[in-house]
């Protein structure tokens, strides 16, 4: 079993070195994942991963090892659990606080089954409101449920002070003996394991709670990036990223002069502003990204009293093409294709999706026979269909292009657009057909 751990970590590092991915989260749970599969019978026993960006070793152990051993197959699996890949995966999960699925417990009990329900959730994911609802509901079901809190004192960056993070820190510092135990207060049988990267202790702990008849919570302290010294030394840097030079511990391509980036310039600007003015607050998602600050908004010269007024990029006739957001460039390309066929198309940048420029739409009806809308969002219920509804009683023909209502996993952007007809050639051809 220890050999399996070593082989899994080696395969993981080899792929991360070439391919990149979620580095620290997966390196930190190699032993835990091997122990889970040694003790529990997946997929009869349900092992549910929160975020699921730490499921790489789980995939190795459930028939998908080739995707980690053979470079030609590195892209055969996604970076998250995916039921299309294996019966051992139960959700297509992309982010946090979702593993405490009490519905699994209810379904099992209604059917009279007896499998173990195991939810693996990180300390960072416990910050989400859905996780608190789950913790409560699991206890109210009061039957077999094993919640594993994978605690490495890290979300993407180091956890802050206060709330659940301070509660977890006190439990770690007291070897699980702190009096104010949040989990026992909810009604869980609580176990703490200080060395969550010790395979033997993990197996013993999991065996001790397997087939329990009530909710238990295993508080397991792990190390993010365990087994790879650079990741152990800098947990945040190695949370996720591109290919790694395993000898130097640097991301490949790092340090090469590439000029100033938008993110770097914006980050410097915002952080300097924060240092100068204590009243400035930046709100971001769980990932450490930066938003526009007040100074940048003051530099914006857009006249917002002209709300929902579209920008006519090029005035033509017969065909009008609306290019929403990122697809304005495609609208221009389609117009160029039409120009080759003798049609001087109007190109419009809507700029706003909050409403329609009805004055412009009324004007278009005088000398345009076809209106085309392009958007890289869901077609159904999108901006284009709003325009189609407005022009429904007119003689203008409307062609809407967008994306199907689906959840693509890994994809090439150009291929996805082409599958939905979003190419300059196709747009121009269909517009010409509508004119004839």
Cα 159 from Cα 150, distance rounded (Å): 13
pLDDT of residue 284: 64
pLDDT of residue 297: 45
Strand 244-245 and strand 250-251: the pairing is: antiparallel
Cα 55 from Cα 98, distance rounded (Å): 14
pLDDT of residue 157: 80
pTM confidence score: 0.70
pLDDT of residue 293: 43
Average pLDDT across each block of 10 residues of the chain; the chain has 436 residues. List them in order: 95 93 94 98 96 95 96 93 95 81 91 96 91 94 97 86 93 96 97 98 98 98 95 89 89 63 72 82 60 49 76 97 95 97 97 93 96 95 96 96 88 91 97 94
pLDDT of residue 59: 97
pLDDT of residue 257: 47
Of 124, 120, 131, 152, residue with least CA distance to 285: 124
């Amino acid at each position: 079993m220890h050999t399996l751990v070593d082989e899994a970590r080696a395969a993981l590092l080899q792929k991360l070195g070439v391919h990149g991915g979620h580095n620290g989260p997966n390196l930190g749970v190699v032993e835990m994942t091997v122990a889970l599969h040694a003790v529990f019978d997946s997929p009869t026993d349900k092992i549910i991963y929160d975020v699921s960006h730490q499921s790489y070793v789980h995939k190795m152990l459930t028939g998908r090892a080739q995707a980690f051993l053979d470079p030609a197959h590195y892209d055969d699996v996604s970076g998250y659990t995916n039921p299309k890949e294996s019966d051992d995966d139960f959700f297509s999960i992309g982010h946090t606080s979702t593993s405490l699925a009490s519905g699994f417990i209810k379904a099992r009990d209604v059917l009279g089954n007896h499998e173990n329900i195991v939810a693996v959730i990180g300390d960072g994911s416990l910050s989400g409101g859905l996780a608190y609802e789950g913790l409560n509901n699991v206890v109210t079901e009061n039957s077999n449920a094993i919640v594993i809190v994978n605690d490495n004192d890290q979300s993407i960056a180091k956890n802050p002070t206060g709330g659940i993070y301070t509660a977890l820190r006190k439990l770690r510092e007291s070897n699980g003996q702190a009096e104010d135990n949040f989990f026992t207060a909810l009604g869980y049988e609580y176990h703490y394991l200080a060395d969550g990267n010790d395979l033997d202790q993990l197996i013993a702990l999991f065996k001790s709670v397997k087939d329990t008849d009530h909710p238990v919570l295993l508080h397991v302290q792990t190390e993010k990036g365990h087994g790879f010294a650079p990741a152990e030394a800098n947990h945040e840097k190695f949370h996720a990223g591109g290919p790694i030079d395993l000898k130097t511990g640097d991301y490949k391509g790092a340090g090469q002069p590439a000029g100033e980036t938008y993110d770097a310039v914006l980050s410097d600007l915002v952080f300097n502003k924060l240092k100068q003015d204590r009243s400035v607050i930046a709100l971001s998602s769980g990932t450490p990204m930066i938003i526009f600050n007040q100074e940048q908004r003051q530099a914006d010269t857009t006249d917002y009293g002209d709300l929902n007024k579209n920008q006519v990029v090029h005035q033509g006739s017969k065909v009008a093409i609306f290019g929403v957001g990122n697809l304005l460039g495609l609208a221009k390309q389609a117009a160029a294709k039409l120009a080759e066929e003798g049609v001087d198309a109007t190109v419009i940048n809507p700029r706003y999706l909050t409403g329609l420029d009805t004055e412009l739409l009324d004007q278009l009806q005088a000398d345009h026979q076809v209106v085309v809308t392009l958007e890289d969002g869901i077609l159904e219920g999108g901006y284009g269909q709003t325009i189609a509804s407005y022009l429904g009683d007119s003689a203008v023909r409307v062609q809407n292009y967008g994306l199907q209502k689906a959840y693509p996993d890994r994809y090439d952007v150009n291929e996805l657009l082409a599958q939905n007809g979003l190419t300059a050639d196709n747009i121009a051809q269909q517009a010409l057909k509508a004119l004839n």
